[in-house]
A and B are shown apart, each in its own frame.
Chain A
Amino acid sequence: MATTDTGNHRRTFLSFFAKMLMTFIGLLVAIPAVRYFLAPLRRKSGGDASFVDVGSLADIPVGEWRLLTLEMVHEDGWRKSRVRHAIWVRRQPGEGPSAVTVFSTICPHLGCPINWQTDQARFFCPCHGGIFDANGRHAGGPPPRSMDPLDFEVRANRLWVRWRDFKIGVAEQVPVNL
């Protein structure tokens, strides 16, 4: 009985040791691999994007929603790429920045592009039926908040807009650092 016990002990110890060794080797490979894989998490945020000229204010008819595009250059892996984003812009009668409204076209529900429906005078998200009124306020459907306003400046009568992405699916407007 005693001899079998020693044999069993030895076997158990060796098994344990072999398992440890395998785990150690696995970790040795997995840790750098996972670190490489998770590299996007460690990427430093680029800070706020800068304002981009989207055109002359005079070109935007008063009281109408216009879909404008802004082009940005961003670090795209091994190169820099130009990306275009779309924005909804409306100019109300009057002078100065208070007369202008700029919205992101991204639906705060799940990120589809929002359309303006002229005949019904409302914004409509084509994916899950989110509805926003003519002032971008949430009026129906699943979106958790109203449309996202974007920062803008009026410089020499031209509209400069800063593009931002916001966290989707939450009630507060939280900028996503890119």
Chain B
Amino acid sequence: METAQDKPSSAGFWEQRTGWRMIKQVLFLEPLPGGSRWAAAFGSLLLFVFLLQVVTGILLAMNYAPSVETAWPCVRYIQDEVPLGSFIRALHHWGSSAMVILLLVHLLQVFIWGAYKKPREFTWMVGVLLLFCTLGLAFTGYLLPWDQKAYWATKVGLGIASTTPGIGDDLRSVLQGGPQMGNLTLTRFFTIHTFLLPGLLILLVAIHLYFFRLHGVTPPWWESAAQLKAEEEPFWPKQLLKDGVVWLVFLVGLGLWCYYQPAPLEAQADPSQPYEARPEWYFMFFFQLLRYFEGPYEIVGTFVLPLMIFLVLFFWPFLDRNPHRDPRRRPIAMGLVTLGTVSLIGLTVFAITTDVRMTEPAQVVAQAPTPLEPAGPIQRADVANVYNANCAACHGVDGTGQQIRAGMPTIPDFTSLAWQMSQTDLEIIHRIQDGNEPLMPAYRNKLSQQQMVAQAIYIRAFAIELGKPGAPKPVQPSPAVAAQMSPTQVYRAYCLACHDADGRGNTIRKAMPDVPDFTSSPWQGTRSDTEVKHAILEGKGKFMFPMKDKLGEPDAEQMVAYVRAFREGKQIVKLESPLLPAPIAPVQPAVVPGPKPTLTKPLPSVPSAETAARLRVASGLYRQYCLICHGADGKGSEMKAAMPTIPDFTGPAWQDSVTNPQAAISVLDGKGALMPSFRGRVSDEQNQDLVAYLRAFGPARAVVAESAPGDFERRYRDLQEQWDELQKQLRDLSKPPRK
């Protein structure tokens, strides 16, 4: 009957070198009293699930970096971009749930079977340790995606740990890695989850299996020893076949489940966002339990009871002195286990069904966080609330930002017209969206596109609130225009077109050979501050504008310092790439109850948002690159003397003689000796819009968004009218909820 003797020749080589026959004998040919059984497949199924967790866990770890900045993006990357990533993660996620269920069922089975009785007490005890090890794995693995659920569930879990008498706070600190949850918590949990606990688990499984093999499968209690002996069968192949069938059924079931049910990934953890934390379902009984212990008794729920449960479970083989294994002859044990099981299931079901939630958490399945889209056009003037909640802390309720200007000198004053005119709406929206770290945070994940547009309008309105219609602020002497702009803004508006973002002026040098290279040390060395200032204020050569009508003396000195900073290429002006925002989704007055308002009247800047935004982009581009030569009015009259061939965009001569593609090509490739190429600075789409913008200079239209200092007052009144209109609409919208 010995298989090894069947093929002595082939076994010889391996047998001599590995002792394979002995291993095979121990692992596969051990006789099972009573023969193979389906019931015995349970433990091996657990081992299989654990191995599956190991395999999927290793795969996930391959694409994971535990830190606050990377954890969530990594998991999203696994979900969205790695081939089969979503499936593997689902297997690991749901596999852990399955493992917990199977463990409890296994425990129950062993209990009813009486398999913990002499001589198998230690097998049971190691099994109980395995159960808690697995729960530890579930708890630590939960944090790793660093989404809202992970963050809050762990926070509560750590809170529970901190109630441990005596060492609670220290225990929490050790687990947490520091006084707060953060990077160190992630690295610790990752290490515990991937090295410590799995290592411990493998060790315990080995011990568990050793005891199991030492004492053999617990035979059924109803069969006599002689009967068991008669039905004895080796583990291989019949028991393994049964195990295999169970594994396969489980694997196919889990696979199908995971295929249709991807593992959830909520929005990235944000402690500032309210969240109704709930643990994973298998901890829900505990969650429910904690509701019953109040005040000083809390510790009973968080510490005493769990400890008691553990101790009773662990030492149960020695607490239960009843020698019988037949459940009918163990009424106390059976009563206890029934009570335990029923209360566990009951509490879980009760907790889940009666769980009242204020709001459903924003479930994001395998997607970037989509900010909640509040209903209604521009959210019925939630605008002011949004501003007060998010912006007022720094920018002030009045928009001046004066309370923190001392500490943050670059904070803009929204009531300043100069600031208002230096920014396009799109620039404001972009600043809200992307922020300007580290000072200005990005709101892209906190506010919807519509909210940001609304905020931009709201910010615009600050200039009117103080300006008081009809009583314009005394207009300061003309230098005011640029005076309140930062040097970067001035540079961007007036210098960049020729001198380039890096101050080298290379783009235009072919046309203007005299343009200096600010990065060159010789140039910097041979020019005194006074000379540079003079050039800025009074202009220089044929092409350099005098700026004295836009800048005062001190501003010019600032600009000199700014120009100096280019030396050796140390400074690059950041181009605000005026990209289009994503097309704004049609406004749907969705869930919010209440009267279907008549004020769905669209706001002027929102409905045609795309066109308006594109025009603004074009106007921004024109100001940045074209205005310096072609002038605010498109006539190019100021440059005429130096560049006789400069076209007049307002005249029919140019408008009629140049086709759109021709104009577009001139923008891209430059024209003649003087017009530089803007390829790379302007996208194709922007170029088209720019051409459309040039067309607008034709008879129907006059002046560009940039104002020459002379018509400042007129522009001011125009803007004021526009803003009055905007504000009126804003007020209309805000009527119902405004407090």
Contact = CB atoms under 8 A, between A and B. Distances in A.
Interface of A: 11, 14-15, 17-19, 21-22, 24-25, 28-29, 32-33, 35-37, 39, 42, 55-56, 77-79, 156-158
14 contacts: A15-B236, A17-B241, A24-B248, A28-B251, A28-B255, A35-B84, A36-B82, A36-B85, A42-B83, A77-B63, A77-B74, A78-B73, A78-B76, A156-B507
A29 B52 contact: yes
B248 A21 contact: yes
B506 A156 contact: yes
B70 A78 contact: yes
A158 B82 contact: no
A11 B237 contact: yes
Contacts of B85: 36, 39
A29 B59 contact: no
A18 B88 CA distance: 26
Contacts of B81: 78
A21 B241 contact: yes
A32 B241 contact: no
B237 A14 contact: yes
Interface of B: 52, 55-56, 59, 62-63, 70, 73-74, 76-77, 81-85, 87-88, 236-238, 240-241, 244-245, 247-248, 251, 255, 504, 506-507, 509-510, 517, 569
A157 B55 CA distance: 56
B83 A18 contact: no
Contact of B247 (A25, A78, A79): A25
Nearest to A79: B73
Contact of B59 (A15, A37, A42, A157): A37
Q: Say what secondary structure dominates the interface of chain A.
A: helix
B62 A37 contact: yes
Contact of B55 (A19, A24, A29, A39): A29
Contact of A21 (B62, B245, B507, B509): B245
Contact of B244 (A22, A35, A78): A22
Contacts of B244: 18, 21-22, 25
Given A15-B237, A18-B237, 5 more contacts: A18-B238, A25-B247, A36-B82, A36-B88, A39-B82
Contacts of A35: 83-84
A147 B643 CA distance: 48
Nearest to A19: B237
Contact of A14 (B70, B82, B241): B241
B241 A39 contact: no
A32 B87 contact: yes
B55 A33 contact: yes
Nearest first, the 9 closest Cβ-Cβ pairs linking A and B are A78-B77, A18-B237, A21-B244, A78-B73, A18-B241, A14-B237, A15-B237, A36-B84, A39-B83
Contacts of B569: 55
A15 B73 CA distance: 47
B77 A77 contact: yes
A19 B509 CA distance: 78
Contacts of B237: 11, 14-15, 17-19
A28 B87 CA distance: 13
Contacts of B52: 29
Nearest to A156: B506
Contacts of B63: 77-78
Contacts of B247: 25
A57 B88 CA distance: 52
A74 B215 CA distance: 59
B74 A56 contact: no
Contacts of B241: 14, 17-18, 21
